Amino acid sequence: MKKKLYTATWVTLLVVGLFLISLPWLENSAIKYLTNSEMNGRIAATAKDKNANFDFKKIESVSASSISKAILNGKKQQMIGKIAIPSVKISLPLYYGLNNQELLSGAGTMKADQKLGEGNFAVAGHHMSNGKILFGPLHKVKKNTAIYFTDGKKRYTYRVSFVKTISQYEVHYVTDTYKSPVVTLITCSSGTLNEPNRTLVVATLASVQKLNNQNAKVFN
């Protein structure tokens, strides 16, 4: 009896141990699945949810529980656009607001009234422990790198003006004004829980083109 109990306990511990070891891999795979599923969808002409969150303090850390809810919950905002930074292999859906569920598959706008090609268009995304998904690769972006956005009708090309590390309290970068239209991209400087610093990328508008089959390939 004791031997069977010992064996059962050992097997249980082994299964739990293997699950914990594989958890990061499972989380990363789930996020890739969510992102790819969304990128294959359509951009909504009007997808501004009146209940969208724009309070940075309400953004939750990514967890196995939140990812499971995102996969099982079919109700989600439709994306309002797409963002691509080919040089660091970023290709993500863009959502209105900073709702936790949407941030598990893409990036979100940081202000309610902003428009692509105008003013300071601010966007935020998660930096996971796996630096290859979501906004994880953002710190690798170099000056003059091309950043592309689309709203489904036009393709907006921006060129990186500067990249820097800032404090989580330097929120003025979201509201700063510039002589030319810019995009401001922000993410945590690492995938560590409670990371106090942020990676900031500011890029200036270089051109606007009508979206077509050829120039849309950058978002694939």
What's the pLDDT score for residue 45? 66
In this prediction, residues 37-47 reach a mean pLDDT of 77
Which residues of the chain form beta strands (DSSP E)? Answer: 81-85, 90-95, 107-109, 120-124, 146-150, 154-167, 182-188, 197-210
Tell me how many domains the chain contains: 1
- Top pLDDT among 178 and 39 is at 178
CA distance 143 to 186: 15
pLDDT tens digits for 76-101?
Answer: 678 899 999 999 999 999 999 988 88
CA distance 217 to 73: 30
- 126, 127, 139, 172: the catalytic one is 126
What's the pLDDT score for residue 177? 93
Burial class (CB in 10 A: 0-12, 13-18, 19+), 133: buried
**Residue 70 pLDDT > 80, yes or no?**
no
CATH, residue 50: 2.40.260.10
- 127, 139, 172, 188: the catalytic one is 188
Confidence band (pLDDT; 50, 70, 90) for 169?
A: very high
**Residue 195 pLDDT > 60, yes or no?**
yes
What's the pLDDT score for residue 14? 34
Of all residues in the chain, what percent carry a pLDDT higher than 70? 80
Residue range of the domain that includes 119: 2-219
β-sheet bridge partners, residue 26: none
What are the tokens at 199?
Answer: 């990676």
pLDDT tens digits for 104-150?
Answer: 889 999 998 899 999 999 999 988 777 788 999 999 999 999 999 99
Among this protein's residues, is 126 annotated catalytic? yes
**Residue 156 pLDDT > 90, yes or no?**
yes
Question: Of 11-15, 29-33, 128-132, 146-150, where does mean pLDDT reach its minimum?
Answer: 11-15
Q: Which of 53-62, 128-137, 178-187 has the highest mean pLDDT?
A: 178-187
- Top pLDDT among 208 and 69 is at 208
**Residue 1 pLDDT > 50, yes or no?**
yes
